[in-house]
Chains A and B, each alone.
Chain A
Amino acid sequence: METQKIEKPAPMIETVLSIESPPARAGFLRALGAIIWKDLAAELRSRELLSAMLVFALLVILIFNFALELDAQTRYNVAAGVLWVTFAFAGTLGLNRSMAMEKDRGCLDGLLLAPVDRSAIYFGKMFGNLIFMLLVEVIVLPVYSLLYNVNLFQPGLIVVTLLGSMGYVAVGTLLASMAVQTRTRDILLPILLFPVMIPLFIAAVKASGGFLQGIPMDEIWPWLNLLLVYDVVFIAVAFMVFDYIVEE
């Protein structure tokens, strides 16, 4: 309740800001950029989030190698599934860390006090998480191709990875900001996230598998459409409800 009162800046500050601040849209983009930049700069100095995600992702792939006996035959059939499970696990690690960092050091309160639109905070965190996720994927995909001699450099697969990661961080950022504010935060995020994420996983795995196995495009389209619908629906929903998550 305290922050609720402070959240609107005092009129004087507001006038000072409005004299200097450009039109609303440019202000929104600037706030968005500032939040993304803050996350990247913090990561550049500590490197704790990316390195953890990356090492974890490689370990998961290693474990799958022994758990599934990835011989030359099965490799092509299960590659999509192995990759998406890896991304999902590494992703929760990153999402949890990225929001816990804000919460622990009181940065979230600082962000909420800033005279910017709440949606700028959501989209800023979301794009920050998306960048980390994509960085991990950019490293994991070549390593996977190298280790298992599977060609993963296909434009279709890259589109699927992009769409899938987008939907994943859209819901993930929303639910992670909920999870960090609970008592059981470390274990809660995957439990909240995975059941809601199932349609995205099914579509992403089927579409990636389709591209890897060279299935005709008209059988892959329904899955790509599903990915698109998921992304649009959940970005819109998260945008609408995020205000209620960070409200104090």
Chain B
Amino acid sequence: MASKPVALKILDIITILLLLVATGLVFFFAPLERVMGLVQKVFYFHVAAGWVGMLGFLVAAMVGGIYLARGERKWDIVGLASVEIGMAFAFINVVTGSIWARPIWNTWWTWDPRLTTATIMLLIYAAYLMLRSGIEDPDRRARFGAVYAIVGFISVPLTFFSARLFRTIHPVVIGTNQPGAEGAFDMTADMRLVFFFSLFTFSVIFVDLLWHRIRLGQLQDQVEQLKLKFNV
């Protein structure tokens, strides 16, 4: 394994700087929301984390398809890496959402479509990891993982749609609100700037982490091969 590439080192530094700037913008630049106050600031990273979670699962389903078509090991490594990162960020998304919901909805949790979908999505990818850990043959593990990543990802919009047929109280900040949404607000120009900057920052974090995780996956593969070589 070659030592850490220079491009990755540069990306690491950029990622850290972007995250610092984003945090600064959220706390010192974005205006205070009049009704909700400070807790509204959770919104910027909440949505960005949810976006990275979805992005991770989307990438996993896509490389799952590529793996099934081509059968190359590297796509499986990418798939596992993006599921793991996606799960971490989806979890951050749920936790930050709860922090916001406690003062605004007066409850940590409610069975709203988005919350329900987010939880079920986490369970799907927990099942994905359990499925992989139950298979020793790396080739079969990769194939089954790819199939489940595709099946799981396809079910997510259906879950969301089915849960949405119930009435929702989750605010839709971008697009039109359902009647009855609570805690909604209109973004000012400054808020929008911070929001999109957070989205961008988190996307860069995703790329950076994915790169690291893929390198780790390659190392794991090498270790596994070395073990096979010397244990026989």
Q: Chain A residues in contact with chain B, CB under 8 A?
A: 171, 174-175, 178-179, 181-185, 188, 191-192, 195-196, 198-199, 202-203, 206, 222-223, 226, 229-230, 233-234, 237-238, 241, 244-245, 247
Q: Give the most central of B68, B143, B155: most A CB within 10 Å.
A: B155
Contact assessment for B143 and A244 in the assembled complex, using a CB-CB cutoff below 8 Å: yes
Partner of A188 from the list B130, B151, B163 (CB cut-off 8 Å) is: B130
User: In this assembly, does B187 line the interface, its C-beta being within 8 Å of a C-beta of chain A?
Assistant: no
Contact assessment for B154 and A241 in the assembled complex, using a CB-CB cutoff below 8 Å: no
Minimum CB distance partner of A193 in chain B: B127
Minimum CB distance partner of B121 in chain A: A195
Contact assessment for B155 and A199 in the assembled complex, using a CB-CB cutoff below 8 Å: yes
Size of interface on B: residues with Cβ below 8 Å to A:
27
CA distance A184 to B161 in the complex (A): 32
User: In this assembly, does B150 line the interface, its C-beta being within 8 Å of a C-beta of chain A?
Assistant: yes
Minimum CB distance partner of B69 in chain A: A244
Contact assessment for A226 and B150 in the assembled complex, using a CB-CB cutoff below 8 Å: no
Contact assessment for B144 and A188 in the assembled complex, using a CB-CB cutoff below 8 Å: no
CA distance A178 to B147 in the complex (A): 9
Contact assessment for B158 and A184 in the assembled complex, using a CB-CB cutoff below 8 Å: no
Contact assessment for A178 and B144 in the assembled complex, using a CB-CB cutoff below 8 Å: yes
Residue pairs across A and B with Cβ atoms less than 8 A apart, 12 shown, are A178-B131, A183-B135, A195-B120, A195-B152, A196-B151, A198-B155, A198-B159, A199-B155, A229-B158, A234-B154, A241-B150, A244-B146
- Assess A192 versus B162: contact at CB under 8 Å? Given A233-B154, A245-B147: no
Contact assessment for B162 and A199 in the assembled complex, using a CB-CB cutoff below 8 Å: yes
Contact with A along B133-146 (1 / 0, CB 8 A): 01110001001101
Chain B residues positioned under 8 Å from A237 (CB to CB): 150-151, 154
CA distance A234 to B148 in the complex (A): 12
Contact assessment for B124 and A203 in the assembled complex, using a CB-CB cutoff below 8 Å: no
Contact assessment for B147 and A196 in the assembled complex, using a CB-CB cutoff below 8 Å: no
Contact assessment for A178 and B148 in the assembled complex, using a CB-CB cutoff below 8 Å: yes
CA distance A229 to B158 in the complex (A): 9
Contact with A along B62-99 (1 / 0, CB 8 A): 00000010000000000000000000000000000000
Contact assessment for B148 and A192 in the assembled complex, using a CB-CB cutoff below 8 Å: yes
- Give residues of chain B (32-57) contacting chain A, Cβ–Cβ below 8 Å: none
CA distance A142 to B151 in the complex (A): 34
Chain B residues positioned under 8 Å from A188 (CB to CB): 130-131, 134
Contact assessment for B134 and A202 in the assembled complex, using a CB-CB cutoff below 8 Å: no
Chain A residues positioned under 8 Å from B148 (CB to CB): 175, 178, 192
Contact assessment for A182 and B131 in the assembled complex, using a CB-CB cutoff below 8 Å: yes
CB distance from A216 to the nearest CB of B (A): 15
Contact assessment for A199 and B68 in the assembled complex, using a CB-CB cutoff below 8 Å: no
Chain B residues positioned under 8 Å from A171 (CB to CB): 151
Contact assessment for A181 and B161 in the assembled complex, using a CB-CB cutoff below 8 Å: no
CA distance A178 to B146 in the complex (A): 12
Chain B residues positioned under 8 Å from A178 (CB to CB): 131, 144, 147-148
